[in-house]
Amino acid sequence: MDTPTTPPDIFGDRDFRATTGVDRAIAQIVSLAHPDDGFHITAPPGDNPRWARRRPKPLYSLTAALALNIQVEVRILRDIREARGEGHTWCDIGDALDLPGDDGDRASVAFDRFAPPSGLWWTCRDCTARVRDHGPDDPHPDDRESGHTADCPRHRAEVNAYLSGDE
C-alpha cells in the first residue's frame, strides 16, 4: 500500500471559495441592512489585537444567512432550468453537482432532489417552446419531455437516437 506524500485537502478549494463567498455576501447584506450597528469586533482567546476581526453580529448574520439561503435555492433552480433549456442532461447536472451514483442514478437523484413537485418547466433553446420536464427515468424522449414543437431539432434528434438504439 502506497503512503500518501501529501495530506488530504480536507477543505477543498471549492468549499473554501464557497465559505469565503458566503462570508462576503453576509457581510454585504448586514452592511446594507445595518450600516451603523451591524458589526462588532471579536478577538480570539488571548485577546491578541492582531487577530481581531470585524464580524457581523450573530442575529443580523443569521437573518442574512437565511435570506442568502433562500436566494441560493432560487438560483439553483434557475440554473437547472437554463441548463436543461440549453440541452444539458440530468446526468450533466448530477455531474456538476457531484452527486453520488453512476450516470443513470445520478440523473435520477438530481431530478428527484431539485425538480419541484409541481413539475419543472424550461424554455427549449432550439424550438423556444415551454417544455415540461418529467424527469430522466422514462426511456422514450416523448415521455421525458412534453411541449417541444413538432419540428424541434433537439427533440427530433433525441427521438431518433432512442429509436436507433444509440441512446
Name the site residues for Zn ion (rule: CB under 5 A). Answer: 124, 126-127, 148, 152, 154-155
For the bound state, the minimum distance from the C-beta of residue 130 to Zn ion, rounded and expressed in Å, comes to 10
Closest CA relative to residue 72, chosen from 108, 31, 21:
21
Q: Which of 63/149 has CB closer to Zn ion?
A: 149
Closest approach of Zn ion to the CB of residue 131, in Å: 6
Q: How far is the CB of 90 from Zn ion (least distance, A)?
A: 16
The 3-state secondary structure of the chain, one letter per residue: CCCCCCCCCCCCHHHHHHHHHHHHHHHHHHHHHCCCCCEEEECCCCCCHHHCEEEECHHHHHHHHHHHHHHHHHHHHHHHHHHHHHCCCHHHHHHHCCCCCCHHHHHHHHHHHHCCCCCEEEECCCCCCEEEECCCCCCCHHHHEECCCCCCHHHHHHHHHHHHCCC
Nearest approach, Cβ of 160 to Zn ion (angstroms)? 14
Which residue's CB is nearer to Zn ion, number 86 or number 126?
Answer: 126
Q: How far is the CB of 115 from Zn ion (least distance, A)?
A: 18
> Closer to Zn ion at the Cβ: 76 or 129?
129
Pick from 105, 107, 67: nearest CA to 83: 107
Kindly tell me which of 24 and 130 has the beta carbon lying closer to Zn ion.
130
- Closer CB to Zn ion, residue 19 or residue 128? 128
